[in-house]
Amino acid sequence: MAEIISDLGGAEGLSEGQRQLARRCALMSVECEKLEAKSVAGEPIDLDVFGQLSDRIGRAFQRLGLRRAKRDVTPDFKTYVASKSKGDHT
């Protein structure tokens, strides 16, 4: 929850509604992570429940104003050339 609140600019600027939504997002995120851990351990999980939780988290984040942030993942020229000289031809 602390990271969600930090992404929103800090607790002091949030309304009570935003704090409540942040708590619910944190709870749903924990439940998703529990399901993910079970899946990685080879246990079956209910993918419908996982999908519903994931969708609800996304909608709640939109309501909170959190948006997907684009970031440049293009390597700089020096890194690109170095990777090519090592035989990385992707």
Q: How many domains does the chain have?
A: 1
Give the Cβ contact number of residue 66 at 10 Å: 15
Q: What is the pLDDT along the chain (90 residues), one digit of tens a residue?
A: 999 998 888 989 899 999 999 999 999 999 999 999 999 999 999 999 999 999 999 999 999 887 655 556 677 778 878 877 776 555
> Residue 72 falls within a domain, yes or no?
yes
pLDDT, position 16: 92
Structural domain including 40 reads 2-85
Residue 57 C-beta-side C-alpha neighbours within 13 Å:
18
Q: What is the structure's pLDDT at 68?
A: 55
What are the distances in angstroms from CA 43 to CA 35, 39, 79, 82?
Answer: 9, 5, 41, 42
Indicate whether 90 belongs to any domain. Answer: no
